[in-house]
Amino acid sequence: MLEALRKIVQEVNSAPDLESVLRVIVRRVQRAVRTDVCSIYLLDPATQRFILKATQGLNKKSVGQASLSRSEGIVGLVGERAEPINLEDASKHQAYSYIQETGEEKFHAFLGVPIIHHRELLGVLVVQQEAIRRFDETEEAFMVTMSAQLAGVIAHAEATGSIGKLDDVKNKGKTDRKFEGVSGCVGVAIGQAVVMTPLADLNGVPDRQAKDIELEKEKFQNALASVRKDIKKVARSLSKRLRSEERELFDVYLRMLDDNALAGEVVAQIENGNWAQGALRKVVEEHVRQFSLMEDPYLRERASDIRDLGRRILTWLQSSAPSLAEIDFPENAILVADELTPAMLGEVPTDKLVGLLSVNGSGNSHAAILARSMGIPTVMGAVDLPYTRIEGMQIILDGFSGRVFVNPSDDLLQCYQDIIDEERQVNADLEGLKELPAETKDGYRMPLWVNTGLVTDVARSLDRGAEGIGLYRTEIPFMIRDFFPSEQDQTETYRRQLEAFAPRPVTMRTLDVGGDKPLPYFPIEEENPFLGWRGIRITLDHPEIFLVQIRAMLRAAEGLDNLRIMLPMVTSVHEVDEAKSLISQAVSELREEGVKVVQPQIGVMVEVPAAVYQVRRFARRVDFISVGSNDLTQYLLAVDRNNPRVANLYMSYHPAVLRALQFIVQEAHKEEVTVSICGEMAADPGGAVLLMAMGYDMLSMNATNLPRVKYTIRHVTIEQASGLLSTILSMDDADKIHLLIRDTLKKWGLGQFTRPTIPD
């Protein structure tokens, strides 16, 4: 059974569209369960009816025709109860409703299991048999497993399938096709999709109209020649060590590349108008699909050879492709990627960029954090978006709700254009705030600092009146390089930050790589990177990297003396002691070398639950504490900040998070140490009000949101803020807290900073 399951899932995964997916399922399940009938009914969201979408055993003509209302028949009952129903004779059941055109009257045994994806009922998978008998427990268990595994594939195929139709109607009709993701950065963008191809990943190659067919053919032939050369070279160098049958494998590879094999088909695709990379993907996909369906295990394995060859050709094709910075972006470009990375954002030219869209990642992934600091509307985690097929299409990107519309209608465009205009007005109203203090109506002063990392951040931050840098993410400049920057390089980079802000304080965080911030030249392969080798753990294991960074920071601060050094991901006091001792070593070394170093302030980030309970111990050892609420939330709630599937569980207003935040301030203040917050929560007007009421000494946030937070603070009293906080601390439901904050902001006349109401 397990083998049957594996094979079905594999085959279904390589089916090109929803119809084929469903056809494969019913055919294979019917065979695996050895039953007379297998059918799938999908629930149509518009009509709320179950429609027979595929069958093996019932009248094929009824496919697409036969339907039941949501509460009709045993199928309806399976959906309603959300559990399997197993009957030896369905016709005896009171809910039995016979659909004549299917010819199902002769079948008695019935087993229906619901198909549920993320709590949503997609349909019902049914097997039927002429005999009067109950399906046994193994069969029932198999069906439940099958349905659970296939639900995701069906949901994805449903979403992608509609894009297939969308291709056909591209110029004829507008579809408003909607995809759900999560908000990465608020704001709305209307623009044209530019799809980023992940390197050496065939699945990620988009279809794209060839600009010059001859040129694409030439590029392909060159890549092919290079791959042939590579293969021959490897074959030669290994010839003595391989047996003759292994050597023959290389000949097979070369033959596969012949003009009357793979190569010829790719050229034909290019001649049809697809660019070389897209043509290659299509041909390879088709061959892989055919091979993986073969019964013979040897032949099935050839699928991986084809995939390997495809990847090799692609690598050569991509080596001549322009880099991100050289791509000719259209006006109003929306950059679409399978996985938006901080490194990409460091490179992308921003003048024509209006939006960012990532299939993977979530609202607190580092790419989203950077997008917010750039102020570019962003949607993350649009997992069902068939991103390789939307190149060049018009998109509405709704960064408030995390929704994306492909090929929108004029009505929807107008709706969103109105929102863009309103947002512009809100931003214009905020422009005069730069010189004004962040002070409540009753005179409570709340210092607002800024988080930086990208080159453009400094100018934007100064422009918005930031009073210091509360978090400079030093890993960002590390990520857009090919090797660790030298001490001199780092000194220059850090000097620019320190100089631009002097005499205001600049908090530099020591390298915080790992988790979702890998360095291309320092790969870390881990099952569980967020619980792995991250932040201070890496730098203490590599004192040579840590010391170079500290020396660079200290040298950069010479004569400015506005440096604060902050340690990320600390869990134990010995880490603080070790880091402090390395910092002292760097200070003395530099003094010996004649650099005029002033001892910097040193601080610790509270980002993990262990740190929450040691705040006083840390506070006795350092000059300041800063809360990294992004990580603290993920670790307190055990919710991966990067995973869109659990994005709805990542709740900054969770009572446990709020209590921890309040506890941290109280503990730090007992030691008379200042405590700030540099997680994204400080950038949210509602969050900022609560943090201010808790007693945080400063709030550090992205430059984009700083004016919004300042405006909010200037329009409330500390008394109002404290009142709201105490009500909220007595509540026990994060969603209700969220709603209360939203309603209260509206009541205070700050409704413009809550999510606008957008039509469904």
Binding site for ligand PEP (CB under 6 A): 369, 471, 473, 512, 607, 628-631, 678-679
Binds 156, which of Mg ion, ligand PEP, none (CB < 5 to 8 A, cut-off by type)?
none
Q: Which two tokens stand for residue 74?
A: 């045993």
Residues 6+ apart with CB under 8 A from 468: 447, 449, 450, 501, 504, 505, 506, 507, 698, 700
We find the least distance from the C-beta atom of residue 576 to Mg ion, in angstroms, to be: 16
678 is catalytic: yes
CB nearer to ligand PEP: give 472 or 501. 472
Residues that bind Mg ion (CB under 5 A): 607, 628, 631
Q: Is residue 151 a contact partner of residue 115, using CB atoms and an 8 Å limit?
A: yes
CB nearer to ligand PEP: give 181 or 628. 628
Binds 678, which of ligand PEP, Mg ion, none (CB < 5 to 8 A, cut-off by type)?
ligand PEP
Q: What is the pairing mode between strands 674-677 and 624-627?
A: parallel
We find the least distance from the C-beta atom of residue 677 to ligand PEP, in angstroms, to be: 8
Say how far residue 571 (Cα) sits from the centre of its chain.
27
Q: What is the rounded distance in angstroms from the CA atom of residue 18 to the CA atom of residue 589?
A: 66
CB nearer to ligand PEP: give 112 or 381. 381
Binds 369, which of ligand PEP, Mg ion, none (CB < 5 to 8 A, cut-off by type)?
ligand PEP
Q: Is residue 385 a contact partner of residue 179, using CB atoms and an 8 Å limit?
A: yes
What DSSP line would sit under 296-318, residue for residue? SHHHHHHHHHHHHHHHHHHHHHH
CB nearer to ligand PEP: give 317 or 454. 454
Q: Is 152 exposed, middle or buried (0-12, 13-18, 19+ CB in 10 A)?
A: middle
CB nearer to ligand PEP: give 150 or 576. 576
Residue type, 460: R
Q: What is the rounded distance in angstroms from the CA atom of residue 356 to the CA atom of residue 343?
A: 14
Q: What is the rounded distance in angstroms from the CA atom of residue 269 to the CA atom of residue 150?
A: 32
Say how far residue 201 (Cα) sits from the centre of its chain.
17
Q: What is the rounded distance in angstroms from the CA atom of residue 127 to the CA atom of residue 112?
A: 6
CB nearer to ligand PEP: give 84 or 603. 603
Binds 423, which of ligand PEP, Mg ion, none (CB < 5 to 8 A, cut-off by type)?
none
Binds 406, which of Mg ion, ligand PEP, none (CB < 5 to 8 A, cut-off by type)?
none
Binds 629, which of Mg ion, ligand PEP, none (CB < 5 to 8 A, cut-off by type)?
ligand PEP
We find the least distance from the C-beta atom of residue 205 to ligand PEP, in angstroms, to be: 31
We find the least distance from the C-beta atom of residue 634 to Mg ion, in angstroms, to be: 9
Binds 474, which of ligand PEP, Mg ion, none (CB < 5 to 8 A, cut-off by type)?
none
We find the least distance from the C-beta atom of residue 472 to Mg ion, in angstroms, to be: 13
We find the least distance from the C-beta atom of residue 569 to Mg ion, in angstroms, to be: 7
Residues 6+ apart with CB under 8 A from 240: none
CB nearer to ligand PEP: give 636 or 750. 636
Q: How far is CA 431 from CA 327, 377, 425, 462, 706, in A?
A: 33, 19, 10, 13, 11
Residue tagged active-site, from 366, 574, 654, 669 = 366
Q: Which two tokens stand for residue 238?
A: 């290994």
38 is catalytic: no
We find the least distance from the C-beta atom of residue 506 to Mg ion, in angstroms, to be: 18
CB atoms within 10 A of CB 307: 18
Please identify every residue annotated as catalytic. Answer: 366, 678
